[in-house]
Amino acid sequence: MAYRKRIAVLSGAGVSAESGLLTYRDNGGLWDNYNPMDVASDKAWKQNPGLVLDFYNTQREKLQGIRPNDAHRLLASLEERFNVDIVTQNVDNLHERAGSTRVLHLHGEVTKIRPENSCNEADGFSENLVVDCGYSKVVLGDLAPNGAQYRPHIVFFGEPVPKIERAIDIFSAADIVLIVGTSLSVYPAAGLYRYACPKAPIYIIDPADIPVHDSRIIHIREKATTGMAAFLEMVQ
């Protein structure tokens, strides 16, 4: 088979916006209604785990009735022509449900839980301790077989990002970088594109201004669905 170029994708909440999920920092976004330090940080988990569990129960419930949109499907269709790795900041499962086969969740997955004392192993978590709880609620007192309280399988603010090394490898090997639907405001995710080789074009799909300036950037100023259709025409 002829060599298929490697595309490294970094996706953010904007790619799920047209499925009906809120982004974090747009007007009316999630962080307009919650302070992330109260519901999504390691300190919050220590001080008020019940509030954190409630927040993620709400986010998990919102996923019910939500379906992938054309942007997710067009991203999955890239695999017909390219070697695609999606590094997503999203904790929803819409990339997988649209058919993408290589998805790395940098910030965790809202449909999964793990014992709060699960050890940090080479790839970040002993995956066999992670349980796919689908859309069910998790409350204080829901304990894992090892007796520990279940917690969301989410990287809280203040915690290390266990899969960042793997994500850096993906971007270091990329022939093409595609960034879709992220404000690039959270590191280390926002810095990943810098690992791509100097010759790799960097396409950014976002209807808003983008905070980065690099001669390699091609800004497709569209929402994700129309931007992805344009990208498919452009990329080769």
Active site members: 107
Using the contact rule CB under 6 A, the part of the chain among 54-62, 75-83, 112-120, 177-185 near ligand APR is 177-185
Residue 25 in contact with ligand APR, rule: CB under 6 A: yes
Instruction: Tell me if 73 contacts ligand APR by CB under 6 A.
Output: no
Could you say whether residue 223 binds ligand APR (CB under 6 A)? yes
Tokens of 131: 């349980």
Between residues 23 and 93, which has the closer beta carbon with respect to ligand APR?
23
Q: Is residue 69 a contact partner of residue 92, using CB atoms and an 8 Å limit?
A: no
* Integer CA distances (angstroms), 17 to 71, 81, 173, 183, 189, in order: 10, 26, 29, 13, 19
Following CA atoms 82, 5, 231, 104 in sequence, which dihedral angle do they give, to the nearest 10 degrees? Answer: 70
Which of 181, 192, 200, 203 lies at the binding interface for ligand APR (CB under 6 A)? Answer: 181
Exactly one of 17, 164, 177, 202 binds ligand APR (CB under 6 A); which one? Answer: 17
Name 226's Cβ contacts closer than 8 Å, sequence gap at least 6.
none
Report, in Å, the least distance between residue 9 CB and ligand APR: 13
| Residue whose tokens read 């390219």 | 82
Name the residues that contact ligand APR, by CB under 6 A: 12-14, 17-18, 23-26, 29, 36, 89, 107, 181-183, 185-186, 206-208, 223-224
